[in-house]
Amino acid sequence: EPEVTQTPSHQVTQMGQEVILRCVPISNHLYFYWYRQILGQKVEFLVSFYNNEISEKSEIFDDQFSVERPDGSNFTLKIRSTKLEDSAMYFCAGGVLAVDGYFGPGTRLTVT
Amino acid sequence: AQKITQTQPGMFVQEKEAVTLDCTYDTSDQSYGLFWYKQPSSGEMIFLIYQGSYDEQNATEGRYSLNFQKARKSANLVISASQLGDSAMYFCAMRPPYNNAGNMLTFGGGTRLMVKP
């Protein structure tokens, strides 16, 4: 059964550095999402992406964040200048219909 | 705005017994979807079960069933015959009416389930 994959599984970066988190959704997915989960807290929506553009974003998703689907398969989340508070688990998710909600395994980002 | 509430921060259950994890929601939408996810200590989010607001029957997936009471705005997860591997965090989530603008999930705070041998 196809799965959403994410790389890397763990990323350690210094404050102020740029990071790119990568996701490979399931091939027939049309909608793509990024969520984050700060340790011990609830999962929070960041951004949704449909038809090669952002369809919705939360207040967390400020100018430091961007998303791309450059080659039709990879779906990336870029954080331009990381802050300590960006340390979290970042989940990519995808779906075809409203009943879908398949998450990748997550990337644990640690900003030092 | 949608809101999901999980009132049980932690629960214990004896192996082989059934357990109910509570979830209540608040929405003004007539059409919505409800999800349950399992998050083991390894961190991944595992989709368990889905219930559409217009589905007349409660959803079931193996040992998981969703006790959907629309009038009470509750969507409790029932796990039958608990296993040690069921020990994890469980999140209830809601999706708004299906549209092309977003479909993002709103999550509850989670319930940590611990299964005792």
Tell me the shortest Cα–Cα distance from A41 to chain B, in angstroms: 7
Cβ pair A91:B45 closer than 8 A: yes
Cβ pair A98:B95 closer than 8 A: yes
Phi-psi region of A64 (alpha: psi -120 to 50; beta: other; left: phi over 0): alpha
A95 or A1, which is more confident?
A: A95
List the end-to-end C-alpha distance of chain B, in Å, as a whole number.
41
pLDDT at B99 (0 to 100): 61
- The lowest-confidence range among A71-85, B42-56, B71-85, B92-106 is B92-106
B39-89 tens-digit pLDDT:
999 888 999 999 999 988 999 999 999 999 999 999 999 999 999 999 999
Cβ-Cβ contacts under 8 Å for A82 (sequence gap 6 or more): A13, A14, A15, A16, A17, A18, A19, A109, A111
With CA atoms as reference, the chain B residue closest to A6 would be: B44
The pLDDT-based confidence of B95 (bands split at 50, 70, 90) is confident
* Average pLDDT value for chain A: 90
Cβ-Cβ contacts under 8 Å, B104 against chain A: 33, 45, 48, 56, 58
* Average pLDDT value for chain B: 92
Mean pLDDT for B3-22 is 96
